[in-house]
Structure formats: structure tokens, C-alpha cells
Amino acid sequence: MMERSREIPARLLDQVIRSEQMAFAFLAALNFVVRDAGRDPRYLDTHMLSYAAQDYIQSVIALPMLVREGIHNVCRRELRFILEMSIKICRIQQQDYSADIPTKLKTLGATFDTTNISMQKQLSLMLLPEPERLLFYQEVGRLYGEMSGYVHWTSAQIIERIALVDQGRTAGFESCEDVDVLTALLARGLAASLVFIFHSVPEYVAGDFLVESDGGSMNWPFSGSRFIAHMDEYFDYKHERQGRLEVIRRSRWTAVKY
């Protein structure tokens, strides 16, 4: 097969950089959650994140590398794993927060092993306003369905691959539009995963992370998520926000893109 030289278009490179920024932001949030929740002396013994954090690190670090190299279907599969793990961690912790991890493994084995994410509808998502919860469930269902299409080898996937190859859109030679679609999926999938992670720990953790010292909202890659924005809005009662609440609200909702 003749080799083709690859020159990365500026717009594609911008999206690669965006994927790196999302990955770093996700891991920074995860690190904060682990440290803040870890103030509980029993955290290491009772919270699944004390071990699962390593799985997040491996998968999330891989995402921008996969985007850069045009390995898109593997990227979708890793994102599905991240989302599924986040749902399960939230469910397991909400079922029995204080039980130690060996007990959780013994008594909640069905939750660990299932691939059915309908359990998300049994979760307490108190940081989201009630009308938004159904929309969030629907968003997660769409994300999971889209990413699951790349877990197993199917005729639909083969037909898509044939079309891409015939157009010359192979790994490393994808179009800018392909990368736009993928990074949009990453933004939605990682934001949804963060919603579940923040609901797997005490409420104060999300407040400590999302509310800046001056009361403002965080300026980070997930400001574009309506669900992250609603979680941020939950903490508008905080004293440090009262002096400029209208400015904070306007800035928050102006940033929302998806």
C-alpha cells in the first residue's frame, strides 16, 4: 500500500487540542473529587473511586491520542467504558455508601457485571432540577446507544467502514468534519460522566469544585454542558455569589452550547 503524507489541517489540529483540554479538565475534576471526598477517613475503604480512578486515568489519557491518530472507533469504545463505569460507580455508592469495597463486590455483583444502564433512572440526581433529569436520562441513552454501535462488529459498522475507506478517510486521514463529530461526542460523554461522578460523593464536593473563591462559575471545557450548568446553578444559594448573582447567571447560560 502506498504511503500518504499527512498534513494536519489547522481546524483539525484545533479539535485535537480541544480533546486534550477536555481530557486534562476531566482528570483535574476527578483528582479534586478524590482528594475532597478523601477527607473522609473511610474513603479508601468504601468508595469505588479509590481504585477506579486508575481506570479513568488510563482511558481518559488515551482519548486525545486516539483523536490525534484518527483511531475514532476505539475512542468511542473508551468513552463508552468511561460513561458505563461512571453510572455504575454512582449506583453502587448510592446503594450503600458506607459499606467497604469487598462487601460491595459481594452484595452488588449484579450491578458491576450488567451492561444495562437503565439503572441510571434509579439514581438520585439531586444537583439537577427535576425537569432536567428526564432530559439527562435521554441524553445518556443517546450517547450510550451511539457509542455501543462500535463495541461489536456489525453489518452497519462494516457498511460505514466501506464508505469511509472508499472516500480515502482512513486512520490518520479523516476529514475535519469527522473530528468535529467525535470531539462533540467526547464533550457530551465526559460531561455526562462527570454528572454521575459528582453524584457518587457528598454534595459539598461539587460545590467546592464548581464555585470559585469569588463566587464565580468555573471557566473550563465543560461550561458548554447544560447539565454541568444546572449543577453549578444548584449552588447559587452560596453566600459568596449573592453580591453578583445576576452576572454569574448570565455568564453561565451564555456559555452553554450542548
pLDDT of residue 40: 94
- Bigger pLDDT: 37 or 148? 37
Instruction: Kindly state the average pLDDT of the residues 228-233.
Output: 98
Set of cell numbers at residue 49:
473511586
pLDDT at 171 over 60: no
Least confident interval from 15-29, 159-173, 229-243: 159-173
Q: Which domain holds residue 177?
A: 10-201
Residue 223 lies in a domain: no
Burial of 113 (0-12, 13-18, 19+ CB in 10 A): exposed
Count: domains in the chain:
1
pLDDT at 15 over 70: yes
DSSP state of 72: H
pLDDT at 4 over 50: no
Which amino acid is it at 136? F
pLDDT of residue 1: 40
Average pLDDT, the chain: 90
What CA dihedral angle connects 78, 82, 84 and 87, to 10 degrees? -170
pLDDT of residue 114: 86
Band of pLDDT at residue 176, cut at 50, 70 and 90:
confident
Residue 136 lies in a domain: yes
**Angle between the 203-210 and 176-198 helix axes, to the nearest 10 degrees?**
130
Residue 148 lies in a domain: yes
Give the tens place of pLDDT for each residue, 194-230: 999 999 999 999 999 999 999 999 999 999 999 999 9
Q: For residue 64, count other CB atoms closer than 10 A to its CB.
A: 22
Residue 65 lies in a domain: yes
Residue 221 lies in a domain: no
For the chain, the straight-line distance linking the first and the last C-alpha, in angstroms and rounded, comes to: 41
Residue 106 lies in a domain: yes
Residue 219 lies in a domain: no
Instruction: Kindly state the average pLDDT of the residues 20-46.
Output: 96
Residue 236 lies in a domain: no
pLDDT at 135 over 50: yes
Contact 205, 37 (CB under 8 A): yes
- Bigger pLDDT: 161 or 65? 65
pLDDT of residue 66: 94
Tell which residue, 114, 101, 88, has the closest CA to residue 51. Answer: 101
**Percentage of the residues of the chain whose pLDDT score is greater than 70:** 87
Least confident interval from 18-32, 44-58, 113-127, 172-186: 172-186
